[in-house]
Amino acid sequence: LSPAARFQLKIGLYCALCLAASALAAPLCLLRHGGRTVRNMRIIKNMVKTFKYIYGLRFETKGLENFQVEGPCVIVSNHQSILDMIGLMEILPDNCVQIGKKELLYMGPVGLIMYLGGVIFINRKSTSNAKTVMSGVAQTMLDENVKVWVYPEGTRNGNGDLLPFKKGAFHLAIQAQVPIIPVVYSSFSSFYNPAKKLFISGTVLLSTPLVYGWTLCVSGLPAEEKLGSRQRC
Ligand SMILES: CCCCCC/C=C\CCCCCCCCCC(=O)SCCNC(=O)CCNC(=O)[C@H](O)C(C)(C)COP(=O)(O)OP(=O)(O)OC[C@H]1O[C@@H](n2cnc3c(N)ncnc32)[C@H](O)[C@@H]1OP(=O)(O)O
Ligand SMILES: CCCCCCCC/C=C\CCCCCCCC(=O)OC[C@@H](O)COP(=O)(O)O
């Protein structure tokens, strides 16, 4: 097979895997928890964590002991590809939902499983609509002790740099008065590059730049005080 065909086949298999795993997980979630709840994320997480073996992906972590924040927080990370979801599930804390574009809801069983897991869907084309949804999320985070994972670039970017951040994650942290935890995925470019039709096995480092104790704080955030000087920036 040509490299292009192999690449397409691997991506096709990934989509099929996501669809099949979602179709399998949805009834399990419904039987176990009856409907849409973040508790379903455990079931989803355990299934997605097996995908790495199929693709020969390894995930290493660094500094994630600082990632164990009690209570609600906003997690922000870079977004390179649809494979990010596998790394996310490797380290996803309990009680954590993601923000996703609403188009994902229409991907059949994948949309259903995201809905059941509590993913918050936003309409990126309507700032006012997204803002309304996000305001509700701030309250829910506090009421239900939920963490929220946001890809603040707002779209995938495999160029090895960061797009300018959208502001929603930061408004959310201020509104809920919770810390922001940054998580960085190392570059996928040595093993995954759609432009070069490259998709081989590889290792991803997931780290949080908290090693020397700084949490990305928005100035004036009272949560900054709660974290103590070690984690101030
Ligand atoms: C079992 C096996 C299963 C297998 C398959 C399973 C699959 C999945 C399982 C679950 C895993 C899910 C993983 C999902 C990952 C999905 C990832 C994505 O979809 S990424 C795309 C969507 N995400 C985002 O867009 C990130 C969040 N976006 C934002 O936060 C944006 O800021 C926004 C959408 C709220 C608005 O964007 P935009 O208008 O384009 O730009 P801004 O510059 O950010 O804002 C414009 C002005 O509005 C102000 N603003 C923004 N937010 C608020 C707010 N909440 N309150 C008040 N004001 C706000 C902002 O300040 C700007 O005004 P300015 O005057 O310039 O300050
Ligand atoms: C019956 C309808 C069937 C529809 C079939 C669709 C098949 C697709 C199946 C699986 C795809 C796997 C999805 C895994 C979830 C990953 C989420 C993700 O990473 O979305 C990209 C989004 O962050 C940014 O989007 P853009 O970069 O702006 O674009």
Q: Which two tokens stand for residue 117?
A: 């897991």
Distance CA 206, CA 59 (A): 7
Residue nearest to atom 10 of ligand 2 (CA): 15
pLDDT at residue 60 is higher than 80: yes
CA distances from 71 to 94, 178, 228 (A): 10, 9, 16
Q: Is residue 15 predicted with pLDDT exceeding 70? A: yes
CA distances from 5 to 9, 46, 102, 197 (A): 6, 30, 30, 8
Tell me which ligand sits closest to the C-alpha of residue 111.
1
CB 119 within 8 A of CB 99: yes
Which residue type does 159 have? N
**What is the rounded average pLDDT for all residues in the chain?**
90
User: If you average pLDDT over residues 49-74, what whole number do you get?
Assistant: 90
pLDDT, tens digit, 9 for 90 and up, residues 196-212:
999 999 999 999 875 43
pLDDT of residue 68: 79
Domain ranges of the chain: 3-231
103: Cβ contacts below 8 Å, ≥ 6 apart: none
Question: pLDDT higher for 115 or 158?
Answer: 115
> What is the reported pLDDT for 232?
36
Between strands 198-199 and 192-193, the pairing is antiparallel
pLDDT digits (tens, 9 = 90+) for 87-143: 999 999 999 999 999 999 999 999 999 999 999 999 999 999 999 999 899 999 999
CA–CA distance, 191 with 210 (Å, rounded to integer):
27
Q: Can you tell me which atom of ligand 1 is nearest the CA of 169?
A: 30
CB-CB contact of 155 with 128 (8 Å): no
* Residue 171: exposure state from Cβ atoms within 10 A (0-12, 13-18, ≥19): middle
Architecture of domain 3-231: 3-Layer(aba) Sandwich (3.40)
Residues with CB under 6 A from ligand 1: 18, 21-22, 25, 44, 47-48, 79, 85, 98-101, 104, 110, 113-114, 117, 119, 122, 124, 127, 130-131, 134, 150-152, 154-155, 166-169, 171-172
In contact, 155 and 165? CB cutoff 8 Å: no
Using an 8 Å Cβ cutoff, are 63 and 182 in contact?
Answer: no
Closest C-alpha to 98, from 120, 82, 76: 120
Ligand 2 close to Cβ of residue 19 (< 6 A): yes
pLDDT cut 90: percent of the chain above it: 80
Give distance in angstroms: CA of 53 to centre of ligand 1.
31
